[in-house]
């Protein structure tokens, strides 16, 4: 009987452990795990759906995340705050979800990537109550972030049967999502009701003071940073060195001011330290998390033994550090390498998949949850652990939801990109793909780098195959292609380049090759009527290649033919692989 009780407690514990956080499935690559996830969702939803009739669905959305993270930041010293600001988006999202939960006695059904969905019993005046919370959030964001970012709450009501069945009477999940989306848009558009605010042109420097060196938005208080950025720096340090995080009201490193309440976080190196830290008022605690470990054995054993409140949340930073644990800045990450690379990748056709779900009105809510949670697991948990263990020179800006954004030493980012694509294919049973945008940089404004990389990702997504499918693309150095083609070119380039004797591998010859690849592309574009610009010179690339090759490389005619075919076949798409050769050669010790 005791054994049974332990079993029961264990399953309750796992249930609790997995109920609120998407990133809570272990061993996702192991057989049988998808059934486990499904079981968790069943149990969880059954509990939430129980004894409910008319319900309200509330959603939260952190908008202006790019501004929140990058405003005023250049690469210089940015590593101190980027990761903590990105984690802060998650923590603030969690705190607000708990505030809403408490107010409405609801349950979080989805949370991650700066968004949440909460289900609660219907009550009169829920809109007014929600509006009250919204006003307090607006004040906080307006006063501290000047309308450059914020948090919008929206809600709608329906019958629980709609969620269970997908469609009921005259409502459906499709309509619910439609209503929530339009409420959300309205909320973002409305932003802070600027016209209603008397002092909406706040000048933080009115009373003098120097701008903070980290954000440039607020007045610097000590060590050239404002109070908020200073708390971001503290948070960044704690996130890289601790294992446990407690979120609570009235104390710790501040994360959100809400009316008269201040929410904060505190960190602990090990469980003993956590237990030893007394609390005057445990009611103020809203969550304890293991932010470091995600292996099944560790977490479950620990969790079951020590605390029923402890949950896992993959929040600890995957950021490059030196042997003393100091976070490296971007110059140090780059080291002697030619440059840094920014990568943004996201799942292709996620929108289509959700749309298909919505069109089929028989699909219950559970399936939406399942898709979102599994996707989020891959990015927030699996990817961050992959980087932590295998890519020490990659700095994670964000990974979660259905996308990832990292900055790192360029060669390591290229390796990561190949690995990420392969792992995602396995994870999605080769049904879904990613598109990736990459840009190289040495230093500069991170907002600019981020936007450039966004554009690269968009170009990668727009590459179509012969059937008009746009997915599985990559855009690197401004050249877009399908990922398999990129891999093919890489492989072939390495093969050919090896055939050139070491002493003949001159940079002048490589630069020539880039020129020929451009010419070859232009002549092709003219023939295929992509481009009307005619230049006779472009058609001469082959004879120029022959001349150059014979004079400088002095290789065999077979090797020359290989170069010629390579450039003829791939045109400008060959350029990224050739350019990377230049960078690699440049990095070789003299």
Between the CA of residue 287 and those of 91, 203, 244, what are the distances in Å? 10, 36, 10
- Please report the DSSP string for 505-536 in residue order: --HHHHHHHHHHHHHHHHHHHHHTTS-----G
Beta carbons of 83 and 405 less than 8 angstroms apart = no
Q: How far is the CB of 351 from Zn ion (least distance, A)?
A: 35
Q: How far is the CB of 234 from Zn ion (least distance, A)?
A: 13
| CA separation for the pair 157, 175 (Å, rounded) | 11
Q: How far is the CB of 232 from Zn ion (least distance, A)?
A: 8
Q: Which is nearer to Zn ion, 235 or 517 (CB)?
A: 235
Q: How far is the CB of 229 from Zn ion (least distance, A)?
A: 3
Q: How far is the CB of 218 from Zn ion (least distance, A)?
A: 5
Q: Which is nearer to Zn ion, 234 or 587 (CB)?
A: 234
Which residues here bind Zn ion, judged by CB under 5 A? 212, 214-215, 218, 226, 229
Q: Which is nearer to Zn ion, 223 or 422 (CB)?
A: 223
DSSP state of 365: H
| CA separation for the pair 17, 96 (Å, rounded) | 19
Burial (0-12, 13-18, 19+ Cβ within 10 Å), 426:
exposed
Q: How far is the CB of 228 from Zn ion (least distance, A)?
A: 6
Largest CA distance in the chain: 89
- Please report the DSSP string for 432-452 in residue order: --EEEEEEEESSSBHHHHHHH
Q: Which is nearer to Zn ion, 226 or 363 (CB)?
A: 226
Q: Which is nearer to Zn ion, 89 or 226 (CB)?
A: 226
Q: How far is the CB of 144 from Zn ion (least distance, A)?
A: 10
| CA separation for the pair 78, 449 (Å, rounded) | 13
DSSP state of 219: B
Cα angle 171, 177, 178; round to 5: 85
Using DSSP's 3-state secondary structure scheme, residue 63 falls into strand
The contacts of residue 466 (CB under 8 Å, 6+ apart) are: none
> Residue holding tokens 């959030």?
137
Q: Which is nearer to Zn ion, 45 or 217 (CB)?
A: 217
Q: Which is nearer to Zn ion, 215 or 358 (CB)?
A: 215
Q: Which is nearer to Zn ion, 45 or 92 (CB)?
A: 92
* Summary count for the chain: helices (H), strands (E): 21, 17
Q: How far is the CB of 221 from Zn ion (least distance, A)?
A: 9
């Amino acid at each position: 009987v005791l054994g049974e009780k332990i079993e029961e407690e264990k399953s309750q514990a796992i249930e609790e452990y997995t109920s609120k956080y998407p990133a809570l499935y272990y061993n996702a690559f192991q057989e049988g795990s998808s059934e486990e996830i499904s079981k968790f969702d069943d149990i969880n939803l059954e509990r939430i759906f129980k004894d409910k009739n008319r319900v309200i669905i509330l959603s939260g959305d952190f908008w202006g995340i790019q501004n929140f993270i990058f405003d005023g930041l250049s690469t210089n010293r940015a590593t101190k705050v980027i990761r903590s600001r990105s984690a802060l988006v998650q923590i603030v999202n969690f705190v607000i979800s708990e505030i809403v939960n408490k107010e409405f006695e609801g349950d979080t059904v989805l949370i991650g990537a700066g968004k949440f969905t909460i289900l609660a019993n219907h009550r009169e005046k829920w809109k007014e109550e929600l509006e009250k919370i919204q006003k307090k959030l607006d004040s906080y964001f307006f006063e501290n972030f000047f309308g450059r970012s914020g948090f919008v709450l929206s809600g709608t009501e329906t019958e629980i049967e709609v969620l269970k069945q997908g469609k009921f009477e005259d409502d459906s999940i499709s309509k619910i999502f439609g209503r929530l989306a339009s409420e959300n848009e309205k909320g973002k558009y409305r932003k802070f009701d600027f016209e209603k605010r008397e002092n909406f042109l706040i000048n933080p420097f009115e009373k003098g003071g120097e701008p903070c060196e980290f954000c440039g938005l607020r007045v610097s208080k000590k060590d050239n940073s404002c109070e908020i950025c200073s708390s971001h720096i503290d948070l960044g340090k704690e996130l890289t060195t601790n294992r446990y995080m407690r979120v609570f009201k009235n104390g710790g490193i501040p994360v959100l001011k809400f009316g008269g309440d201040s929410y904060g976080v505190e960190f602990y190196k090990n469980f003993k330290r956590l237990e030893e830290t007394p609390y005057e008022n445990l009611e103020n605690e809203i969550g304890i998390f293991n932010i470091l470990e995600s292996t099944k054995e560790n977490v479950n054993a620990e969790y079951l033994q020590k605390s029923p409140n402890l949950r896992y949340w993959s929040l600890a930073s995957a950021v490059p550090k030196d042997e003393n644990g100091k976070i490296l800045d971007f110059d140090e990450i780059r080291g002697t390498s030619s440059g840094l690379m920014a990568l943004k990748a996201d799942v292709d056709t996620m929108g289509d998949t959700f749309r298909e779900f919505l069109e089929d009105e028989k699909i219950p809510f559970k399936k939406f949850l399942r898709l979102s949670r599994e996707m989020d697991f891959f990015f927030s948990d699996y990817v961050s652990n992959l980087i932590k263990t295998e890519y020490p020179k990659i700095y994670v800006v964000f990974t979660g939801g259905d996308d990832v954004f990292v900055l790192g030493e360029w060669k390591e980012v290229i390796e990561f990109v190949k690995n990420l694509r392969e792992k995602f294919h396995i994870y999605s049973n080769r049904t879904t793909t990613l598109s990736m945008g990459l840009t190289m940089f040495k230093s500069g404004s991170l907002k600019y780098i981020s936007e450039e990389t966004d554009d690269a990702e968009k170009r990668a997504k727009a590459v179509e195959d012969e059937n008009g499918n746009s997915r599985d693309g990559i855009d690197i150095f401004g050249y877009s292609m399908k990922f398999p083609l990129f891999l093919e070119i890489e492989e072939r380039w390495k093969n050919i380049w090896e055939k050139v004797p070491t002493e003949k591998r001159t940079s002048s010859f490589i630069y020539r090759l880039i020129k020929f690849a451009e010419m070859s592309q232009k002549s092709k574009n003219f023939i295929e009527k992509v481009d009307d610009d005619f230049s006779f010179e472009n058609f001469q690339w082959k004879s120029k290649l022959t001349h150059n090759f014979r004079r400088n490389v002095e290789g065999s005619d077979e090797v020359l033919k290989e170069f010629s075919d390579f450039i003829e076949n791939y045109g400008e798409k060959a350029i990224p692989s050739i350019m990377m050769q230049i960078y690699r050669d440049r990095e070789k010790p003299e």
